[in-house]
């Protein structure tokens, strides 16, 4: 499920090396040790101000502390997202033990925020601190478990993830990328190199989202 070509298209030296074709020995070790959960979207509904996605994740799967560390390493601002789930105030207080779909919600929002900020910084031609970015680069989200239909695969838990947007194309694509990134994050427990190993660059993801943002 990981969009290899997108991660690989980042094209920076260090990240490029991490995406290099593994040797036979590495591939064998990797295949034995790493299993990526299948977190994916089965349907999308576009509303005037928000998009709803039905996200499936393996039944009972929650975010481990190792996966949370990996998410924090890749997206340091994720933990400071406002999140009132479970009576908390920040996503950092909620991330360990939460459902993968909730992680997808916050990842999608983070991708949209970074895309809008990237666009604003590029157009302004000057460095803008985060706190001075336009207020409309604020998105809200909600995740809730939904009933499994009799025809649904019992191997997956269905959730509805809803996020607001200022660009519908970016929101939909961000949700799809967020599922792939969450799958990668959730594979961390089995990674023999530890949670901070082989963090890919997400420049390719942001580049594609920026292209949509400006289309």
Q: Which residues bind Zn ion (CB under 5 A)?
A: 83, 85
Which runs of E-coded beta strand occur in 84-155? 141-145
Sort 52 into a burial class: Cβ within 10 Å, 0-12 / 13-18 / 19+. middle
Q: How far is the CB of 84 from Zn ion (least distance, A)?
A: 7
Sort 106 into a burial class: Cβ within 10 Å, 0-12 / 13-18 / 19+. buried
Taking CB atoms, the residue at the shortest distance from Zn ion is 83
Can you tell me the distance from the alpha carbon of 209 to that of 7, in angstroms, rounded to the nearest whole number?
Answer: 13
Q: How far is the CB of 151 from Zn ion (least distance, A)?
A: 29
Note the residue count of the chain: 215
Can you tell me the distance from the alpha carbon of 35 to that of 100, in angstroms, rounded to the nearest whole number?
Answer: 15
Which runs of E-coded beta strand occur in 49-122? 50-58
Nearer to Zn ion, 39 or 83 (CB): 83
Nearer to Zn ion, 10 or 55 (CB): 55
Closest-CA residue to 19 (of 207, 203, 209, 198): 198
φ, ψ (nearest 5 deg) of residue 122 = -65, -40
Nearer to Zn ion, 89 or 190 (CB): 89
Nearer to Zn ion, 85 or 201 (CB): 85
Q: How far is the CB of 206 from Zn ion (least distance, A)?
A: 22
Q: How far is the CB of 132 from Zn ion (least distance, A)?
A: 25
Q: What are the angstrom distances between the C-alpha of 86 and each of 71, 89, 143?
A: 20, 9, 12
Q: How far is the CB of 96 from Zn ion (least distance, A)?
A: 13
Q: Are 110 and 75 in contact (CB under 8 A)?
A: yes
Q: How far is the CB of 121 from Zn ion (least distance, A)?
A: 26
Nearer to Zn ion, 10 or 163 (CB): 163
Nearer to Zn ion, 58 or 92 (CB): 92
């Amino acid at each position: 499920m990981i969009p290899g070509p997108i991660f690989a298209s980042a094209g920076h030296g260090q990240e490029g090396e991490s995406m290099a074709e593994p040797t036979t020995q590495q591939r064998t070790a990797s295949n034995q040790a790493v299993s990526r959960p299948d977190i994916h979207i089965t349907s999308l509904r576009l509303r005037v101000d928000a998009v709803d996605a039905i996200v499936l994740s393996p039944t009972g799967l929650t975010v481990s502390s190792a996966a949370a560390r990996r998410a924090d390493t890749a997206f340091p601002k994720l933990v400071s997202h406002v999140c009132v789930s479970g009576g908390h105030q920040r996503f950092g207080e909620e991330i360990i033990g939460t459902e993968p779909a909730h992680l997808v919600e916050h990842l999608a929002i983070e991708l949209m925020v970074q895309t809008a900020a990237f666009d604003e910084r590029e157009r302004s031609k000057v460095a803008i601190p985060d706190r001075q970015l336009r207020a409309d680069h604020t998105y809200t989200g909600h995740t809730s478990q939904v009933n499994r239909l009799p025809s649904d695969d019992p191997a997956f838990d269905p959730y509805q993830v809803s996020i607001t947007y200022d660009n519908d194309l970016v929101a939909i694509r961000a949700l799809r990328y967020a599922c792939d990134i969450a799958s990668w994050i959730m594979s961390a427990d089995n990674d023999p190199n530890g949670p901070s190993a082989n963090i890919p660059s997400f420049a390719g993801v942001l580049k594609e989202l920026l292209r949509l943002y400006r289309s």
